[in-house]
Structure 1
Amino acid sequence: MLTFGVDIGGSGIKGAPVDLEKGTLSQQRFKVRTPHPATVAGVTDGVKQIVDHFDWSGPVGLTFPGVVTVGSTIRSASNVDQDWIDMDARALFSERLGGHPVTVVNDADAAGLAELRFGAAMGRRGTVILLTFGTGIGSALFNDGVLVPNVELGHLELWGQDAERRASSKAKEEGGLAWKEWAGRVKEYLAHVERLFSPELIVIGGGISRESEKFLPLLDGVRTEIVPAQLHNDAGIVGAAMCAARQAAA
């Protein structure tokens, strides 16, 4: 069973058809740069480029880097243009894609669903948290496999500001931080998350998870089990497709 997924991020928009039996992309993903500023028109045009690239016809699942209500209204837009707030994302994208059925979900929630079904958190019970380190820090919180949506843990206050301002992979890149220095910040952030939620497992996702061997050994002192995501940066695409298929079957 194939369904299409698109992952909208702060630096790139990427998508592909997804084999939902295997949890893998059925074709190599196609990516365009997220426009800056990430306006409504610019991002929707980018999504259309990706869908048109595959000549896709059918349901499309989309992730969004912010809070998305059950009714698909955007409630926050930290790393995209503020004009997104209060937009009906489902209606907006469906119109731009020529009437395709569209499902919209928070980006980290989608990645978490994919890792829970096919990846590093598969079969895990108790409290599981996925954290994606990229332009910001996305988060997905699960209890016994049930998602608590839109938990924006990247905006926890630490060091007098949103934690993602100092501990995201963007902060590492822009600050020219060595792995050890950046890992020190991540470790302090994870200890804060641990104190608040007492998770059984923390999954580190986002593109930086491909280099987990460079920083996971430096996160000593955090008691919670920490593992890298298995789907890496494809998790959002897979999770978006999962949500689209679920909506189509409802």
Structure 2
Amino acid sequence: MAREMLGIDIGGSGIKGAPVDLSDGSLARERFRVDTPHPSKPKAVAKVLAEVVDHFGWDGPVGVTYPGVVIDGVALSAANVSKQWIGLDAASLIADATGREITLLNDADAAGVAEMRLGAGRGRRGTVVLLTLGTGIGSALFTDGVLVPNTEFGHIQIDGRDAEIRASAKARDEHDLSWEKWARRLSEYMVQLEALISPSLIIVGGGVSRKSEHFLPLIEGVRAEIVPARLVNNAGIVGAAMAAAAAHPVETAEPAQIRAAGRAGGRQRANGTAEAAR
């Protein structure tokens, strides 16, 4: 019998979720998506999360991603959602709205955990960074498979502005950039990122990674290997489900190392786990 956990990914434009088969990261049911409320205030977003939970009739723990820094369930930044999230015990708010135990973690960290365990980063040692190109630029940093949480490399300054303002997928759409012009902006960003952390592998995720053949071959000046994410835009959902499984080993009967990660992360207000990526 498949071991499943519900994962929900909060994005700047949409909130999407699905039960995940933890054995292989596949979606056990068709993904359900609802537009992110605008303005994306906490209570409005929590109401949508409850709608997603109810859609699946889910009565167990839930993994949820948040597009910003999360420590012990508290949101500490809000680049692409309402500033009302900052300093909020977001895990408890969502738990109250859904009536479920919530494991909350950074959205890019969730995607990275999924890619490192089941996708393009599987088995890779050394320094690996995943970049999610969407409304902003999210990042997840790993060293020998261990997550360094909440890196937020999309906010590296280039010419006095956050890199994501120029190089996100949203920026490409807003400025109607050709693949070539966008690739030049990504190259500039990745060169600066590489100078800071010297990765051996850069994984490019987000929905636009489905079209990676149009822009990844055009990136120049980067020494690291650059590959598209294998789980594409479902990586956040999968990673959220994996983090919830790590925090609730009894419900999912996960392997010993995932159970240990769950104990380290704690219940309801966990940040996700380094071990879940292994």
TM-score range, shorter chain: over 0.9
Q: Percent identity of the aligned residues?
A: 58
Q: Please state how far the C-alpha of 1:101 moved relative to its aligned partner.
A: 1.0
Give the 4+ runs in structure 1 shifted more than 2 A. none
Distance (whole Å) between structure 1 residues aligned to residue 50 and residue 237 of structure 2: 15
Amino acid at match of 1:237: I
Q: Which runs of 5+ in 2 are unaligned?
A: 250-262, 264-278
Structure 1 residues 75-224: aligned runs within 5 Å: 75-98=76-99, 100-224=100-224
Q: Which runs of 5+ in 1 are unaligned?
A: none
Amino acid at match of 1:45: K
Cα deviation code 1:110-148 (max 9, x no counterpart): 000000000000000000000000000000000001100
SS of match in other structure, 2:70: coil
Distance (whole Å) between structure 2 residues aligned to residue 14 and residue 159 of structure 1: 34
Cα deviation code 1:1-51 (max 9, x no counterpart): 100000001011000000000111111100001111111121111111111
TM-score by length of 1: 0.98
Partner of 1:242: 242
Distance (whole Å) between structure 1 residues aligned to residue 213 and residue 32 of structure 2: 27
- Alignment counterpart, residue 63 of structure 1, candidates 59, 62, 65: 65
Cα deviation code 1:128-180 (max 9, x no counterpart): 00000000000000000110000010000012100000000000000011110
Q: Please state how far the C-alpha of 1:205 moved relative to its aligned partner.
A: 0.3
Partner of 2:26: 24
Amino acid at match of 2:94: F
SS of match in other structure, 1:138: strand
Amino acid at match of 1:201: L
TM-score by length of 2: 0.88
Q: How many residues align?
A: 248
